[in-house]
A and B are shown apart, each in its own frame.
Chain A
């Protein structure tokens, strides 16, 4: 690498670093600003402000439910498609990528009647959003799981397991899942990030999730809403960093085992 190229790289890194990290620093500064110095009141509000705290709890629970629903729905479906229903692969892929084509705004506009039924059958809390969210995270989750499933010799694994007497359920849970664990974790973490930031469907349906509450708060209490936004970003970052650490360790142990 020439000296010129090395310096170009450094300058570019610094440039990008400033562009992306400065707003994050600005958020930290803004949220701790007070009349004559620093204060952590805005951050304390994350726990003390009842409405905000409720919104955080609702969003976290929603993320958990969405991930559970997505994994339960997608993993067996994708395994089945690869093993027994190859002809359906394009169809499943199409449906999984469809939410990228249909904007959330369109979905929420047409969702009202469906949700009248959902709330009639299941009650009224914001957690019922999990159903829609599972569909919304499909594109991201599908991509992660698909990459992971492609890297594994699925047919051999399942046939070996079944020939040793395992049923479909045991084979999936105890043989396939540990092998596609990185893909599942990746899908889970990305889905969590999407759910924590989803604003369109929640706000136009009238539910008080975290992003909705942040915007509401932004009108009356700037620092607290900025603190909440920064917390969300940092949390997502920690989550995804942990994910990459996990993946790396798995990869190295897998290569050793082979």
Chain B
């Protein structure tokens, strides 16, 4: 009898627990978020909150913007590797010029990781202040951005910015093939990669279903094989052949692997590849002259930035002559390049190093990107698996 009493009690309590738990679950699962912390920052002289300022004028001028940023003292950036578009030097220059500490989180994160971080760390002081995103992720998340027009806004061609300044392209480059001339024969075009001399050598910067750079790499290969922005299949087919020939290396190329010779051939943006030449003098970069694929990155300010004034000062810095020149030193084509070349404000040595291409440059539209992504999601794993 005692046994049945115990089990009855157990059952009753279990039932009560079950009911309470289900109740808690439904409440919890309907996902009540905690009260929002007001993070729009301190008010500026003109009465506009720093987090809602849309230009330096809202602060009362550049000097006031600098003062407000210095008062905040810190800036959170994310996914900015030091040798990508010369961000290492840009961060140092910004930090030295204004005395603002820059916290660079997750340099290897992808664009989606940046958005995830912003969502997960919303309201925290470690949330990212600014974003540097690939096309697909940027255009899908414009609701997270705060509109801001930098001082040089009018100098930026209309095709490269949102009229309100919600997002602005900061730099762009072309897809290229980088190779170690001391380890493998020179590469002149995509078709060379199928040759037996490149066995176990060819690496793609990431997985094209994950990373924008790898996606553009497959697009470049597709164009060279007779595909088009609407038809990425020849590119996937080429990589399948590459894999069968044993030339494809499923390794993530990093500065470490390039320097140690593990990845002698890398398909990546021309500026990332060029940055490797500093560490490995025999590293050569080739942009296939026909059908080049270009891509621009998108700069935006987090609407809920924990350091709104510093974020806006960062934007000003990036689009100033100094910032654009620093970008150019990293091998990218800064967005104001055309106007700066005309004005002569672009450093001549750097200007000379910008790649020259013939023929129409392909920049896939968001619709083409989406269709190609879908094709990749369904077929990439089978091609290189």
Contact = CB atoms under 8 A, between A and B. Distances in A.
A and B touch in the complex (CB under 8 A): yes
Interface of A: 86-88, 90-91, 112-117, 119-121, 124, 205-206, 208, 216, 219-222
B34 A116 contact: yes
A182 B106 CA distance: 41
Contacts of B37: 120
Given A116-B34, A208-B105, 7 more contacts: A87-B9, A91-B10, A113-B28, A116-B123, A120-B123, A206-B120, A220-B254
A219 B33 contact: no
B365 to A, nearest CB: 32
B252 interface: yes
A220 B256 contact: yes
B123 A113 contact: no
A33 to B, nearest CB: 10
Contacts of B122: 116
Interface in B116-130: 116-117, 119-126
B7 interface: yes
Contact of B256 (A88, A113, A222): A222
Interface of B: 6-7, 9-10, 13-14, 17, 28, 31-35, 37, 105-108, 116-117, 119-126, 252, 254-256, 260
A137 B140 CA distance: 38
Contacts of A119: 121, 123-124
Contact of B6 (A86, A120, A208, A221): A86
Contacts of A220: 254-256
A219 B106 contact: no
Contacts of A208: 105
Nearest to B30: A113
Contacts of B108: 216, 219
Given A119-B123, A124-B125, A124-B126, A219 B252 contact: yes
Contacts of A115: 120
Contact of B116 (A87, A88, A206): A206
Contacts of A216: 106-108
Given A91-B14, A120-B37, A220-B256, A114 B28 contact: yes
A120 to B, nearest CB: 4
A112 B28 contact: no
Nearest to B254: A219
Contacts of B105: 208
A250 B35 CA distance: 52
B34 A117 contact: yes
A87 B6 contact: yes
B24 to A, nearest CB: 11
A75 to B, nearest CB: 22
B124 A124 contact: yes
B121 A124 contact: yes
B7 A206 contact: no
Q: Which of B120, B123, B252 has the most chain A CB atoms inside 10 A of its CB?
A: B120
A173 B252 CA distance: 53
A120 B254 CA distance: 37
Contacts of B254: 219-220
29 contacts: A86-B6, A87-B9, A87-B13, A90-B10, A91-B13, A91-B14, A91-B17, A112-B119, A113-B31, A113-B33, A115-B120, A117-B34, A119-B123, A119-B124, A120-B37, A120-B123, A121-B34, A124-B121, A205-B120, A206-B116, A206-B117, A206-B120, A216-B107, A219-B108, A219-B254, A219-B256, A220-B254, A220-B255, A222-B260
A90 B105 CA distance: 45
Nearest to B78: A206
A84 to B, nearest CB: 12
A190 B223 CA distance: 54
Contacts of A221: 256
Given A113-B33, A124-B121, A222-B256, A206 B106 contact: yes
A121 B123 CA distance: 12
B256 A120 contact: no
Given A113-B28, A116-B122, A88 B33 contact: no
A88 B125 contact: no
A107 to B, nearest CB: 14
